[in-house]
Amino acid sequence: MNDLADRVMGGELRALSRLLSLLERGEPAAAPAMERLDPQTGRAYTVGITGPPGVGKSTLVDRLTEHLRQLGLSVGILAVDPTSPFTGGALLGDRIRMQRHYLDAGVFIRSVATRGQSGGLPRIVKSMVRLLDAAGKDVVLVETVGVGQTELGIMGVADTVIVTMMPESGDAIQTLKAGVMEIADLYVINKADRDGANRMAAAVTAMLHMSDRSDGWNPPVLLTQAHANAGIAELWDSVGQHRSFLNDTGGLERRRLERRRQEFLESVQEEIYRRITRRLAADARLNQLLADIDGKQAEPYAAALGLLADEGLELLGGPAAL
């Protein structure tokens, strides 16, 4: 696996893809390579782009990528698809317009299916960001669909969070209510040629004046027309201003430490859960407990507490088996 890490550091795309796949499938085999790559991380700047469906996030990412390439920066893109847990395939229609970047060695694009994950942005996205960082990308863009709760996860992944909206969606205020105001470092009103863009910008600005960010940053509200390439350079300039602010205030270091700790805690949780569910198929006592839950001889919440209290973790295999 150290070989894999070396190949990633050497710029081999196939090794990078392979390691991303190991992370995506939750394979512990990824750990040694991640361990070796870790000292190489901390150079890339990570930008999250979130917002409801249909506001033009993919076009925005496409144009931002073009702009970054013109600036001579290499780009890693993680497009997180809220894939159905049933069909299993990432729906990549939106990505087609990104095709031209596939021919550019300075751009690495990966769609991440989050099927089976219980919502939010899964731990693997944090690991994948660090991996693209170690692979030498200057900027990592993470695109996620989100409304309310889902969006909060992006804060745990990105240095700068861009929340994207559009006029006429009629739900600007509702979207803002749903916790978004706490996570947005920049607001983008895309499709700004449509009616109501200025009105929406004014409404967002007004709401910002009523709220207080504990870190002292005043999120700008920007107008873009991604399809016409308008406002993209200004958007990147604003990201740079936020980056400077974070650097000056120590906020970048704080965000990144918090992110590493969260990745650790989420990995512990995820791994314990993975082992429990794997053992369920094999352990007769756990199967009996599930049968009791089915038949109402056991209540789900009390049974969970009882499992941890009475039988201890032996049922889960004990320290050795775990």
Binding mask 115-154 for a copy of itself (x = CB under 8 A): --xxxxx-x--xx-----------------xxxxxx-xx-
What six digits make up the tokens of 200? 């929406």
Residue 13 in the binding site for a copy of itself (CB under 8 A): no
Residue 308 sits in the site that holds a copy of itself (CB under 8 A)? yes
Site string for a copy of itself, 159-188 (x = CB under 8 A): ---------xxxx--xx-xxx-xx------
8 Å CB contact between 115 and 7:
no
309 binds a copy of itself (CB under 8 A): yes
Task: Please report, for residues 123, 205, 236, the alpha-carbon distance to residue 99 in angstroms, rounded to integers and kept in the order given.
Answer: 27, 36, 22
| CA distances to 57, 133, 141 from 38, in Å | 30, 9, 19
Distance CA 144, CA 283 (A): 38
Residues from 36 through 55 that contact a copy of itself (CB under 8 A): 38-39, 41, 52-54
Asked if 260 interacts with a copy of itself (CB under 8 A), we say yes
Name the residue with tokens 């390579």: 33
- Asked if 14 interacts with a copy of itself (CB under 8 A), we say no
**Is residue 293 within the footprint of a copy of itself (CB under 8 A)?**
yes
Q: Which is nearer to a copy of itself, 56 or 220 (CB)?
A: 56
Q: Is 246 in the site for a copy of itself (CB under 8 A)?
A: no
Site for a copy of itself in 49-88 (CB under 8 A): 52-54, 82-87
Closest CA to 51 of 43, 39, 42, 60: 60
Distance (Å, whole) CA 183 – CA 123: 18
- Contacts of range 95-102, beta carbons closer than 8 Å, 24 or more positions apart: 95/58, 97/58, 97/59, 97/62, 98/58, 98/61, 98/62, 98/65, 101/62, 101/65, 101/66, 101/75, 101/77
* Residues listed for the chain: 322
Instruction: Supply the minimum distance, in Å, between the C-beta of residue 157 and a copy of itself.
Output: 12
Residue 11 interacts with a copy of itself (CB under 8 A): yes or no: no
- The residue among 234 and 311 lying less far from a copy of itself, judged by its C-beta, is 311
- For 186, phi then psi, to 5°, come to -140, 140
Q: Which residue, 103 or 320, has its beta carbon nearer to a copy of itself? A: 320
* Residue 196 binds to a copy of itself (criterion: CB under 8 A): no
Interface of this chain with a copy of itself, residues 89 to 108, rule: CB under 8 A = 91, 93
Find all residues with CB under 8 Å of 286, minimum gap 6, and list them.
279, 280, 315
Q: Nearest distance from residue 172's CB to a copy of itself, in Å?
A: 9
Please state the closest distance from residue 107 (CB atom) to a copy of itself, in A.
24
User: Which one, 17 or 84, has the nearer CB to a copy of itself?
Assistant: 84
